[in-house]
């Protein structure tokens, strides 16, 4: 993707300009980001998803002014028929994993790394429906899918911002609106992390939230050190050879801190391990139970199937990414990593990006032992699978 081409999705600015001026910094309203956008799913289909066990869904219902009531899915069909005419919202997480047309929307955001994408959440709100003024810790693009929504944005918040007392919902006690717009289908609002916002449905309204994720510093530290510790032996310890005699035996002197700092630095600066951990962590699937492959994949059967016209597709619940380490490549697939020879670069890129893999585009890779092995392994692991014809 050329970062210097003006994009309709970004209101006519380029990806480079968007990243420089708005991303993680300030909001951007884009009228007709996707002109004449028509939601690929309707309210009934969204409600249908919320009946499913493996789909995460929530209902937020307002009773008078407040408090907001939160119910968690999966829901029973009759719960929807008992809802009032107004003032409720159904939110369904990760619809991109269940509806391919919704996953396709993500193609528009390829100017951002795919491992930064969290999911596409879709909400349906009855008139007046809102989840209350709040802030999120992640970047989000709010694309209006159907009907109209009134969006107000406000102040920058943080963990000190006062919230209403509510066991399950993080609703801001103070919301100072600074701007307000009514979004129609195809309009989109980008919000940086921590910006207060409040969206109220004008009529029956569907909103797509393309959400991003970034690990917290606490997550990076705890998960990376956990990962590192697998490679450390009990003998690797704090050492103080050549220490000077203690002046006061009860005092912790700063030379001890220096030793600790070098112990930390020695391990924390291992770039290979940091990369391996990060790739594995960022490709961990949201629903690991949906990334399972067949126990056995016979290479010969696998090849014959492809030669007879079978098509491989990425499991929509899988996450893939790759990186370079010297002359080798590292593939991250749904929380696992694998070193590969540099010659597989084009295959790797194709596996990560192509809609479908078949004899025509795999071509010579099927005669390459490493290439074949890689494809088989990804099928076994559940990240790739044969499309049902
Ligand atoms: C919604 O779609 O109702 C809420 C989306 C958000 O504010 O994050
Ligand atoms: Co939000």
| Phi (first) and psi of residue 361, to 5 degrees | -90, -20
Say yes or no to pLDDT of 296 above 90.
no
Q: 8-212: what CATH class?
A: mainly beta
Q: Which of 171, 175, 194, 199 to mutate for ligand 1's pocket (most ligand atoms within 8 Å of CB)?
A: 199
pLDDT tens-digit map of 96-149 = 999 999 999 999 999 999 999 999 999 999 999 999 999 999 999 999 999 999
| Phi (first) and psi of residue 158, to 5 degrees | -155, -170
Q: What percent of the chain has pLDDT over 70?
A: 99
Question: Where is average pLDDT lowest: 160-169, 278-287, 368-377?
Answer: 160-169
Beta strands in 164-220 (DSSP E): 179-183, 188-191, 195-201, 205-212
- Mean pLDDT, the chain, rounded, equals 95
Say yes or no to pLDDT of 186 above 90.
yes
User: Which pLDDT does position 166 carry in this prediction?
Assistant: 83
Q: What percent of the chain has pLDDT over 90?
A: 94
Q: Which of 91, 130, 150, 192 to mutate for ligand 1's pocket (most ligand atoms within 8 Å of CB)?
A: 91
Distance from C-alpha of 284 to C-alpha of 213, rounded to nearest angstrom: 12
State the pLDDT confidence band at 389, using cuts at 50, 70 and 90. Answer: low
Q: What is the pTM of this model?
A: 0.94
Q: For residue 201, give Cα distances in angstroms to 6, 44, 85, 125, 151.
A: 31, 17, 12, 6, 9
* 238-257 mean pLDDT: 95
Beta strands in the chain (DSSP E): 6-7, 13-14, 28-30, 57-62, 68-72, 88-92, 117-125, 140-146, 149-156, 179-183, 188-191, 195-201, 205-212, 312-314, 320-325, 328-333, 336-341, 384-386
* 303-330 mean pLDDT: 96
For ligand 1, say whether the CB of 131 is within 6 Å of any of its atoms: yes
For ligand 1, say whether the CB of 283 is within 6 Å of any of its atoms: no
User: Which pLDDT does position 128 carry in this prediction?
Assistant: 95
State the pLDDT confidence band at 65, using cuts at 50, 70 and 90. Answer: low
User: Which pLDDT does position 142 carry in this prediction?
Assistant: 98
| Phi (first) and psi of residue 21, to 5 degrees | -100, -25
Say yes or no to pLDDT of 178 above 70.
yes
Distance from C-alpha of 106 to C-alpha of 301, rounded to nearest angstrom: 33
User: Which pLDDT does position 185 carry in this prediction?
Assistant: 98
- Give the tokens for residue 373: 């092995």
Where along the chain do the CATH 3.40.366.30 domains lie?
288-386
Say yes or no to pLDDT of 165 above 90.
no
Where along the chain do the CATH 2.60.120.650 domains lie?
8-212
Instruction: Match 């035996």 to its residue by tokens.
Output: 249
Q: Which of 75, 159, 88, 158 is nearest to 123 (CA)?
A: 88
State the pLDDT confidence band at 168, using cuts at 50, 70 and 90. Answer: confident
Q: 288-386: what CATH class?
A: alpha beta
- Taking the CA of residue 131 as reference, the ligand 1 atom at the shortest distance is 3
* 231-244 mean pLDDT: 95
């Amino acid at each position: 993707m050329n970062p210097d081409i003006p994009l309709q999705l970004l209101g006519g600015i380029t990806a480079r300009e968007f990243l420089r001026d708005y991303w993680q910094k300030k909001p951007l309203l884009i009228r007709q980001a996707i002109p004449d956008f028509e939601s690929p799913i309707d309210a009934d289909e969204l409600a249908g998803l919320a009946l499913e066990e493996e789909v995460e869904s929530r209902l937020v219902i307002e009773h008078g002014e407040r408090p907001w009531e939160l119910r968690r899915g999966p829901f029973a069909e009759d719960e929807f028929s008992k809802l009032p005419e107004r003032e409720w919202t159904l939110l369904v997480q990760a619809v991109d994993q269940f509806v391919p047309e919704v996953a396709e929307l993500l193609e528009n955001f390829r100017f951002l790394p795919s491992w930064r994408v969290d999911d596409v959440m879709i909400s349906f709100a009855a008139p007046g429906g809102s989840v209350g003024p709040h802030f999120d810790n992640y970047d989000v693009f709010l694309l209006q899918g159907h009907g109209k929504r009134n969006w107000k944005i406000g102040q920058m918040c943080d963990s000190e911002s006062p919230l209403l007392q509510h066991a399950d919902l993080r609703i801001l006690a103070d919301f100072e609106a600074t701007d307000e717009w009514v979004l129609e289908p195809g309009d989109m609002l980008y919000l940086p992390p921590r910006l207060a916002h409040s969206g109220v449905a004008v009529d029956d309204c569907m909103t797509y939230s393309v959400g991003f994720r970034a690990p917290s510093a606490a997550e990076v530290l705890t998960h990376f050190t956990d990962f590192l510790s697998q490679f450390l032996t009990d003998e690797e310890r704090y050492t103080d050879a050549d220490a000077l005699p203690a002046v006061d035996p009860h005092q912790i002197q700063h030379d001890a801190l220096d030793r600790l700092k070098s112990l930390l630095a020695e391990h924390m600066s291992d770039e290979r391990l940091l990369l391996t951990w990060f790739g594995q962590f960022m490709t961990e699937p949201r629903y690991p139970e949906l990334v399972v492959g067949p126990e056995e994949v016979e290479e010969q059967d696998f090849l014959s199937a492809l030669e007879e016209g079978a098509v491989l597709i990425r499991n929509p619940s899988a996450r893939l990414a790759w990186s370079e380490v010297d002359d080798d490549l590292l593939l991250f697939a749904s929380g696992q990593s694998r070193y590969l020879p540099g010659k597989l670069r084009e295959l790797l890129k194709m596996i990560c990006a192509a809609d479908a893999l078949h004899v025509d585009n795999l071509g010579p890779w099927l005669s390459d032992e490493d290439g074949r092995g890689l494809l088989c392994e990804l099928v076994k692991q559940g990240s790739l699978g044969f499309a049902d014809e």
